[in-house]
Amino acid sequence: MPKEFKIAKGLKDWYGREAILRNEIKDALKRVFERYGYNPIETPMIERAETVKFKGGEEIQKEIFTLKDQGKRELALRFDQTLPLARFVASNKDVKFPFKRYVIGEVFRDGPTQPEQGRYRVFTQCDVDILGVKDMIAEAELLALAQDCFKEMGLGNITVKINNRKLLDGILEYAGVPDKDKFNTIIILDKMDKIGIEGVKKEIKLLLPKEKIDKLVSAITKAKNNNETYKKLTEIISSKNGIEGLNEIKQLLDYSKNMGFNFIEFDPSLARGLDYYTGTTIEVYLKDKSVVKSAVLAGGRFDNMIGAFSGGKKEIPAVGFSFGLERIAMILNDIKKNLKSSNTELYLIPINTAKECLKIANSLRRKGLIVAMTLKGKKMGQAITYADSLGIPYAGIIGEDELKEDSITIKNLKTREQKKIKINEAYKYLKAK
């Protein structure tokens, strides 16, 4: 009995409408990234294991895909785009600062999967980063970029949650969380959008007594607006690190006000679970009802990472974030109507004119029309049914009579209306539709 080959657990093939939508999202993001002056870089999917494990944190370490090459060298698949960036910059002396880059590529995590929420073992991260700028103006530009990216994709109604790792450290200190339990507490706080405040309190009970939990929950609870939340925290935070984080939040809120942003939410409970964050942390959610409840963008400031990769020889401030392609695609697929299932604009059907139609198809393509042509000698009815099944909007029929007249019969496969026009008018006619 032949073996049945199935896709591995937690993975997905992308085809047709889904694949086209993913490409459209990538193209939309690239347009905005480049509009803001970011340039692409590409790094390998495979890194040395020591690189990938260097700053991943205990939770991520469990999810890293590892392998060995034929030379028995320890390798790993990248789990994000940030560590490869740090390795690249630390090892390239010709990088000029500020360094603004973007990258769109697959990352790999051997962790729990939730396909219904766009969580797979292999997923695509679309990252933008600014290196070499310490001031919060870098974050302000990134927030403007994020707003424009979501508008470009038709998802303009967003909420941007911001916090600061220094401030969060100050809150943990205020609540009396021991140093040994701080990062595990952050890991639990990072689950807030999945398990809620009651779930967080239940898990933290394993680390902290009730009085410390109550103090922590009180500190991370938002007030009625950003200014009130900031004011509340200025009254309880006393550590140098915490005050520095509060000052950075204030700077970012001031920049946001100046930019006219009304979608910023200062949330002291926001905790990113990666231990390389040093300052600002950011998550973006969609206000509109959608199938995805998790963040569609996340990131923050990682000022110490590149210095760590260079053995402390250079300290380079860095901030950036990542768009989750799978989650954005799920949302667009859910709310958008009439999504394309084919990029092809015209399906050319020769009737005893295949030789001539090859030349005509090429001529139309060179003008900028996306043309496919039947290559199997299908009957006209079969060819039209095939084109319609692929979601191609128009068929172009060229028989011997059309050829004599230098014409083509254009058939709208949705309305079934058809019209004979000159071949040299086909591009203009279809692009006007």
In this chain, the answer to whether the domains covering 17-335 and 346-431 adopt an identical fold is no
Residue-wise pLDDT for 288-309, tens only, equals 656 677 889 999 999 999 888 8
Across the chain, mean pLDDT equals 92
Angle at 129 between CA 55 and CA 268, to 5 degrees: 70
For residues 383 and 378, give the distance between their C-alpha atoms in angstroms, rounded to a whole number: 6
- Radius of gyration from C-alpha coordinates of the chain: 27
Q: How confident is the model at residue 130 (pLDDT cuts 50, 70, 90)?
A: very high
Q: Which residues pair with 395 in a beta bridge?
A: 347, 411
Supply the pLDDT for residue 428: 94
- Percent of the chain whose pLDDT exceeds 70: 97
The angle, 0 to 180 degrees and rounded to 10, between the axes of the packed helices 137-152 and 240-259 is 50
Sort strands 346-350 and 318-324 into parallel, antiparallel or unpaired. unpaired
Q: Amino acid identity of 33?
A: F
For residues 234 and 243, give the distance between their C-alpha atoms in angstroms, rounded to a whole number: 8
Q: Classify residue 5 by its DSSP letter.
A: P
Q: Classify residue 37 by its DSSP letter.
A: T
Query: Of 430, 417, 399, 416, which Cα lies nearest the Cα of 408?
Result: 399
Q: Quick one: how far is CA 370 from the chain centroid? A: 28
Residue-wise pLDDT for 308-360, tens only, equals 888 776 789 999 999 999 999 999 988 887 788 899 999 999 999 999 999 99
Query: Of 423, 323, 400, which Cα lies nearest the Cα of 107?
Result: 323
Arithmetic mean of pLDDT, 284-290: 78
Alpha helices in 338-433 (DSSP H): 354-367, 380-389, 400-404, 426-431
pTM across the whole model: 0.89
- Percent of the chain whose pLDDT exceeds 90: 73
Name every residue whose Cβ is closer than 8 Å to that of residue 321 and which is 6 or more positions away in sequence. Answer: 127, 128, 142, 146, 282, 297, 298, 299, 300
Domain map of the chain by residue range?
A: 17-335, 346-431
Query: Of 119, 131, 49, which Cα lies nearest the Cα of 82?
Result: 131
- Confirm if 83 and 55 have CB atoms less than 8 A apart: yes
Alpha helices in 91-164 (DSSP H): 137-152
Q: Output the CA–CA distances (angstroms, integers) from residue 205 to 208, 273, 275, in the order listed.
A: 5, 19, 22
For residues 11 and 29, give the distance between their C-alpha atoms in angstroms, rounded to a whole number: 24
Q: Amino acid identity of 135?
A: D
Sequence length of the chain is: 433
Q: Residue 418: in which H helix or E strand, if any? A: strand 418-422
For residues 328 and 49, give the distance between their C-alpha atoms in angstroms, rounded to a whole number: 30
CATH superfamily of 346-431: Anticodon-binding domain (3.40.50.800)
Domain 17-335 has CATH 3.40.50.300: no
Arithmetic mean of pLDDT, 245-271: 95
Is the pLDDT assigned to residue 88 strictly greater than 80? yes
Residue-wise pLDDT for 159-200, tens only, equals 999 999 999 999 999 999 998 998 888 888 888 878 888 888
Q: Classify residue 423 by its DSSP letter.
A: G
Give 98 or 111, the one with higher predicted confidence. 98
- The SS3 call for residue 158 is strand
Dig out the tokens for 233 from the structure. 């925290």
For residues 65 and 67, give the distance between their C-alpha atoms in angstroms, rounded to a whole number: 7
Arithmetic mean of pLDDT, 363-383: 93
Supply the pLDDT for residue 406: 96
- The SS3 call for residue 163 is strand
